[in-house]
């Protein structure tokens, strides 16, 4: 029969193994394999696009009635907003064989204290967003947490390949 100390030691060792093997809150993700079933959910039900090698995310949410696309900048696990000091960023979309440009402007939020120049939310509007449900896109350039991401390709609403 094992003593209660041995049982406690085994239980703690098992709990540590679970914690260490989890995704965790670290930025470098060295040795972290994201090709084997690792995925994050879009918190607003939109299209989640990974930036770099698990360095951050941008979620795009379409409002067809308003003809608006909202972008939320998120951390590597799509759990927390990431505020950035951007004036704007652009996305090139291919819609019915023609190229359209969306310019995303910063949006403030009084309840979170976010304001233009220090926000995680951006919006772009275009009439074609009212009727277009799918398009190929290239996020031309976006800086997040000290890294600049360029030519990030994806399909809306499918996401990146």
What structural domains does the chain harbor? 44-156 (2.60.40)
Distance of CA 129 to the CA centre of its chain: 20
Judged on CB neighbours under 10 Å (0-12, 13-18, 19+), 44 is middle
Helix, strand or coil for residue 9? helix
What average pLDDT score do residues 131-156 get?
96
Q: What is the pLDDT of residue 62?
A: 98
Higher pLDDT, 116 or 23: 116
pTM: 0.76
Q: What's the confidence (pLDDT) of residue 44?
A: 83
Residue 82, pLDDT score: 95
Q: Answer whether residue 100 shows pLDDT above 50.
A: yes
């Amino acid at each position: 029969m094992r003593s209660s100390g041995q049982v406690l030691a085994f239980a703690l060792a098992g709990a540590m193994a679970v914690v260490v093997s989890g995704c965790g809150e670290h930025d470098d993700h060295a040795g972290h394999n994201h090709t084997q079933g690792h995925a994050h959910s879009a918190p607003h039900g939109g299209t989640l696009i990974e930036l770099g090698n698990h360095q951050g995310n941008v979620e795009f949410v379409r409002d067809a009635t308003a003809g608006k696309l909202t972008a939320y900048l998120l951390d590597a696990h799509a759990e927390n907003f990431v505020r950035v000091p951007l004036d704007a960023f652009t996305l090139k979309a291919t819609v019915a064989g023609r190229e359209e440009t969306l310019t995303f402007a910063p949006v403030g939020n009084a309840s979170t204290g976010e304001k233009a120049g220090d926000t995680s939310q951006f919006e772009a509007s275009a009439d074609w967003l009212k009727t277009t449900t799918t398009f190929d896109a290239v996020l031309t350039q976006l800086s997040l947490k000290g890294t600049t991401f360029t030519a990030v390709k994806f399909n809306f609403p499918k996401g990146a390949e």
